[in-house]
Amino acid sequence: MIFATPTSHDLLIRKIPHLSAGVVRLMMKDQRGIIARVADVIARHDINIDSLEQEPRIPGAGWRFVITVEPASELTNRAAVDVINALEFMVEPVLLLPIG
């Protein structure tokens, strides 16, 4: 980062957060309210859900869901994923794949 002084010709360069949509894959235990809780975390981080798909159950492993989210910053997406990963019904860590 370059800092400008009133007499210099240098510019202040700021890093603008890159916004990107994403695909979130979750593997969760079968419990009531799991989608509502995940959607609440996503909403509390000001991220909008574009689509949600429940994939066929994997016996002995749980339920897999794929959520497509609208563009948000990487930091915002990562913060939401950290909260989701801490939920007691998660079977494995969230897989977050940026789109674009």
Distance CA(85)–CA(91), nearest Å, equals 9
pLDDT reading at 10 higher than 70: no
- Number of folded domains in the chain? 1
**pLDDT at position 12 over 60:** no
Q: Each residue of 45-91: pLDDT tens digit?
A: 999 999 999 988 877 778 899 999 999 998 999 999 999 999 999 99
CA distance linking residue 66 with residue 68, whole number of Å = 7
20 pLDDT more than 60 = yes
Residue 29: domain span: 19-99
pTM, entire model: 0.79
Q: How confident is the prediction for the chain on average, in pLDDT?
A: 86
Asked, for residue 60, whether it belongs to a domain, the answer is yes
Answer whether residue 4 is part of any domain.
Answer: no
